[in-house]
Structure 1
Amino acid sequence: MNFIHNSRDIAYRFPFGAVKAGSAVELSVRAEDVPAHALAIDLRVWVDGRGETIVPLERRADGIFTCTLLCPEPALMWYRFNIAVEAPDSTRRLYLGAPEGKTGGVGQVYTYPDCPSFQITVFQPRKLRPTWYEQGMVYQIFPDRYRRDPAWRERCERALVEHPTKGVPRRIVEDWNEPPVYDRNEDGSIASWDMYGGSLKGITADLDRLAEMGFTVLYLNPIFAAASNHRYDTADYLKIDPMLGTEEDFRELCREAEARGISIILDGVFNHTGDDSVYFNRYGTYPEPGAWAGEDSPWRDAYRFNADGSYACWWGIGNMPDLNLTSPTVRKLIAGEHGVIRHWTQAGARGWRLDVADELTEQIITDIRDVLLDEKPDAVLIGEVWEDASNKISYGMPRHYLLGYELDAAMNYPFRSMVLDFLLDAIPAAEAADRIEALAENYPPEALRCSLNLLGSHDRPRIASVLGGGPDESQLPEEERGRWRLS
Structure 2
Amino acid sequence: MTDPAPLRRPHHDGSALYVADPAPRPGQRVTVRVRVPHASGVTEVHLRQVTDGEPEFRPATRVASDDLESWWEAEVVCHNPVTGYRFVLSGETSGYQWLNGTGVHDRDVPDAADFRLVTHDPPPDWALDAVVYQVYPDRFARSAAAPPVTQVAPDWAIPAGWDDPVTAEPHLAGRQLFGGDLDGIAEHLDHLERLGVTTLYLTPFFPAGSSHRYDAATFDAVDPVLGGDEALRRLVRAAHERGLRVLGDLTTNHTGDRHEWFVAAQTDPAAPERDRYLYDETGDYVSWLGVPSLPKIDHESTSVAERLFDAPDATVRRWLAGPDGLDGWRVDVANMTGRWGAQDVNHEVARRMRRAVQETRADGLLIAEHCHDHSRDVDGDGWHGVMNYSGFTRPLWTWLRHPARPRASSARR
TM-score by length of 2: 0.74
What is the one-letter code of the residue matched to 2:77? L
Aligned pair partner of 2:334 in 350, 357, 377 = 357
Tell me the alpha carbon deviations over residues 298-333 of structure 1, each in whole angstroms, 9 at most, x when there is no partner: 111111112422122111111111101121111111
Say whether residues 1:344 and 2:319 are aligned partners: yes
- Once residues 376 and 130 of structure 1 are traced to their aligned partners in structure 2, the CA distance between those partners, rounded to angstroms, is 14
Contact 2:50 2:56 in 1 (8 A): no
Tell me the alpha carbon deviations over residues 23-72 of structure 1, each in whole angstroms, 9 at most, x when there is no partner: 34679999xxxxxxxxxx9987557xx64x143557999xxx99865321
- Once residues 334 and 177 of structure 2 are traced to their aligned partners in structure 1, the CA distance between those partners, rounded to angstroms, is 27
Contact 1:200 1:244 in 2 (8 A): yes
**After superposition, where does 1:440-451 map in structure 2 within 5 Å?**
none
Tell me the alpha carbon deviations over residues 392-412 of structure 1, each in whole angstroms, 9 at most, x when there is no partner: 2xxxxx2234x2x22222224
What is the one-letter code of the residue matched to 2:56? V
Aligned pair partner of 1:279 in 261, 266, 280 = 261
Aligned pair partner of 2:367 in 373, 379, 382 = 382
Structure 1 residues 19 and 174, CA, compared in 2 at 3 Å: closer, same or farther?
closer
Give the percent of matched residue pairs that are identical in Structure 1 and Structure 2.
26
CA displacement at 1:194 relative to structure 2: 1.9
Say whether residues 1:23 and 2:21 are aligned partners: no
Partner of 1:399: 377
Partner of 1:108: 105
Partner of 1:236: 218
Partner of 2:82: 75
What is the one-letter code of the residue matched to 1:399? D
Contact 1:219 1:265 in 2 (8 A): yes
- Once residues 108 and 362 of structure 1 are traced to their aligned partners in structure 2, the CA distance between those partners, rounded to angstroms, is 31
Contact 1:400 1:406 in 2 (8 A): yes
> Does the residue aligned with 1:279 lie in a helix, a strand or coil?
helix
- Once residues 148 and 301 of structure 1 are traced to their aligned partners in structure 2, the CA distance between those partners, rounded to angstroms, is 39
> Does the residue aligned with 2:296 lie in a helix, a strand or coil?
coil
- Once residues 146 and 217 of structure 1 are traced to their aligned partners in structure 2, the CA distance between those partners, rounded to angstroms, is 16
Contact 1:28 1:66 in 2 (8 A): yes
Partner of 1:305: 279
Choose 1 or 2 for highest CA Rg: 1
Partner of 1:481: none
CA displacement at 1:210 relative to structure 2: 2.4
> Does the residue aligned with 1:265 lie in a helix, a strand or coil?
strand
**After superposition, where does 1:173-184 map in structure 2 within 5 Å?**
173-174=160-161, 176-182=163-169, 184=171
What is the one-letter code of the residue matched to 2:331? L
Partner of 1:443: none
Q: Which moved more, 1:356-365 or 1:208-217?
A: 208-217
Structure 1 residues 329 and 95, CA, compared in 2 at 3 Å: closer, same or farther?
farther
CA displacement at 1:138 relative to structure 2: 2.0
- Once residues 59 and 343 of structure 1 are traced to their aligned partners in structure 2, the CA distance between those partners, rounded to angstroms, is 50
TM-score by length of 1: 0.64
CA displacement at 1:354 relative to structure 2: 1.1
- Once residues 250 and 348 of structure 1 are traced to their aligned partners in structure 2, the CA distance between those partners, rounded to angstroms, is 9
Contact 2:20 2:31 in 1 (8 A): no
Say whether residues 1:331 and 2:336 are aligned partners: no
CA displacement at 1:219 relative to structure 2: 0.7
Partner of 1:445: none
Contact 2:123 2:384 in 1 (8 A): no
Q: Which moved more, 1:122-131 or 1:21-30?
A: 21-30
Tell me the alpha carbon deviations over residues 248-290 of structure 1, each in whole angstroms, 9 at most, x when there is no partner: 1111111122222222111111110111211112xxxxxxx2x
- Once residues 255 and 25 of structure 1 are traced to their aligned partners in structure 2, the CA distance between those partners, rounded to angstroms, is 40
Tell me the alpha carbon deviations over residues 178-216 of structure 1, each in whole angstroms, 9 at most, x when there is no partner: 3224474xxxxx798221111112112222332343322
**After superposition, where does 1:118-157 map in structure 2 within 5 Å?**
119-124=114-119, 126=121, 129-131=124-126, 133-154=127-148, 157=151
> Does the residue aligned with 2:232 lie in a helix, a strand or coil?
helix
Higher relative contact order (CA 8 A, sep 6+): 1
Say whether residues 1:366 and 2:337 are aligned partners: no
Contact 2:174 2:211 in 1 (8 A): no
| Structure 2 gap ranges (5+) | 1-7, 37-44, 63-71, 338-345
Contact 1:156 1:243 in 2 (8 A): no
Structure 1 residues 139 and 422, CA, compared in 2 at 3 Å: closer, same or farther?
same
Contact 1:97 1:117 in 2 (8 A): no
- Once residues 205 and 66 of structure 1 are traced to their aligned partners in structure 2, the CA distance between those partners, rounded to angstroms, is 52
Tell me the alpha carbon deviations over residues 381-433 of structure 1, each in whole angstroms, 9 at most, x when there is no partner: 212124564xx2xxxxx2234x2x222222243234444544555689xxxxx
Contact 2:208 2:215 in 1 (8 A): yes
- Once residues 9 and 202 of structure 1 are traced to their aligned partners in structure 2, the CA distance between those partners, rounded to angstroms, is 42
Partner of 2:66: none
Say whether residues 1:411 and 2:387 are aligned partners: yes
> Does the residue aligned with 2:349 lie in a helix, a strand or coil?
helix
Structure 1 residues 116 and 158, CA, compared in 2 at 3 Å: closer, same or farther?
closer
Tell me the alpha carbon deviations over residues 155-176 of structure 1, each in whole angstroms, 9 at most, x when there is no partner: 763463xxx6xxxx22222353
Please report the RMSD computed on the Cα atoms of aligned residues, expressed in angstroms: 4.1
CA displacement at 1:82 relative to structure 2: 11
Contact 1:147 1:198 in 2 (8 A): yes
- Once residues 260 and 28 of structure 1 are traced to their aligned partners in structure 2, the CA distance between those partners, rounded to angstroms, is 39
- Once residues 42 and 382 of structure 1 are traced to their aligned partners in structure 2, the CA distance between those partners, rounded to angstroms, is 35
What is the one-letter code of the residue matched to 1:157? Q
Contact 1:263 1:350 in 2 (8 A): yes
What is the one-letter code of the residue matched to 1:353? R
What is the one-letter code of the residue matched to 2:223? D
CA displacement at 1:19 relative to structure 2: 6.1
Aligned pair partner of 2:12 in 8, 12, 19 = 8
Structure 1 residues 308 and 95, CA, compared in 2 at 3 Å: closer, same or farther?
farther
**After superposition, where does 1:314-325 map in structure 2 within 5 Å?**
314-325=288-299
What is the one-letter code of the residue matched to 1:55? E
